[in-house]
């Protein structure tokens, strides 16, 4: 399967999940179907980090979109301080630190020790902040895209991602275990982007579907 197919699966899964929250709170099957969204999106955040030509612009797109979504959350009265796109933005910073650590290590430079220390201290600080402020999926969600970024080979990336996803399931529990069904889908990922890139569609889809679902919930008096 191409990246495009998997991103469509993730988008539809997310739509079902949020529709279940806002419109059909008793439909547990929609929440279960929505468990595929996070791992699929997280994996492609790591893929995007590996393939983007401008990591700064990639970070800014995610962060600014995440900030816009925070406004939607605030208007909708959704009790979440930091949404998943803020998590993914932070993940990109950790991936950059990891990348610089690996480059220094492969070049035989002692600066890798500083980058490793910065990485560990930042993770520790953020893990604490996740106990004070509410981040979507907590520290395990923030680090989920980071684990595969440490590896170049596809099978190693998938194993690292699977371990991180299992850790998230242990942390969150409940229906989050259904997210493990994303792993077989990723196993069949062929590493190709697909015939149509549709990059901006998926960026726009996230805030647009939130606004649409919230508008429908207002009309229905939910």
The token pair that represents 87 in the structure block:
């998590």
Strand, coil or helix: what is 200? helix
**What is the DSSP code (8-state) at residue 195?**
S
CA distances from 104 to 69, 97, 122, 209 (A): 36, 11, 19, 42
For 62-118, write each residue's pLDDT tens digit: 998 888 888 777 766 665 567 888 999 999 999 999 999 989 988 888 888 999 999
For 153-208, write each residue's pLDDT tens digit: 899 999 999 999 999 999 998 999 999 999 999 999 988 876 777 777 888 888 88
pLDDT computed for residue 53 by the predictor:
87
pTM of the complete model beyond 0.85: yes
By C-alpha distance, which of 12, 3, 50, 60 is closest to 34? 12
Q: Which residues lie below 8 Å from residue 182, measured CB to CB, with a gap of 6+?
A: 35, 36, 39, 40, 43, 165
CB 87 within 8 A of CB 135: yes
- Long-range pairs for 87-90: beta carbons < 8 A, 24 or more residues apart: 87/135, 87/136, 87/137, 87/141, 87/142, 88/41, 88/42, 88/45, 88/62, 88/145, 89/59, 89/62, 89/63, 90/126, 90/142
Strand, coil or helix: what is 19? helix
CB 104 within 8 A of CB 111: yes
Q: Which residues lie below 8 Å from residue 193, measured CB to CB, with a gap of 6+?
A: 2, 3, 4
pLDDT computed for residue 186 by the predictor:
95
């Amino acid at each position: 399967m191409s990246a495009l197919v998997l991103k469509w699966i993730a988008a539809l899964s997310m739509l079902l999940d949020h529709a279940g929250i806002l419109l059909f709170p008793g439909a547990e099957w929609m929440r279960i179907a929505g468990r595929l969204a996070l791992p699929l999106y997280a994996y492609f955040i790591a893929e995007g980090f590996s393939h983007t030509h401008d990591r700064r612009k990639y970070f800014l797109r995610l962060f600014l979109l995440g900030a816009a979504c925070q406004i939607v959350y605030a208007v909708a009265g959704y009790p979440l301080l930091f949404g998943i796109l803020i998590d993914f933005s932070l993940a990109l910073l950790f991936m950059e630190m990891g990348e610089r650590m690996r480059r220094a290590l492969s070049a035989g430079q002692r600066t890798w020790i500083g980058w490793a220390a910065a990485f560990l201290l930042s993770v520790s600080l953020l893990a604490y902040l996740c106990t004070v402020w509410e981040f979507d999926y907590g520290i395990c969600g923030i680090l989920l895209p980071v684990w595969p970024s440490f590896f170049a080979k596809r099978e190693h990336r998938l194993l690292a991602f699977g371990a991180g996803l299992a850790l998230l399931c242990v942390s969150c529990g409940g229906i989050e275990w259904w997210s493990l069904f994303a792993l077989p889908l990723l196993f069949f990922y062929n590493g190709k982007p697909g015939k149509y890139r549709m990059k901006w569609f998926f960026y726009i889809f996230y805030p647009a579907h939130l606004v649409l679902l919230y508008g429908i919930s207002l009309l229905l008096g939910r």
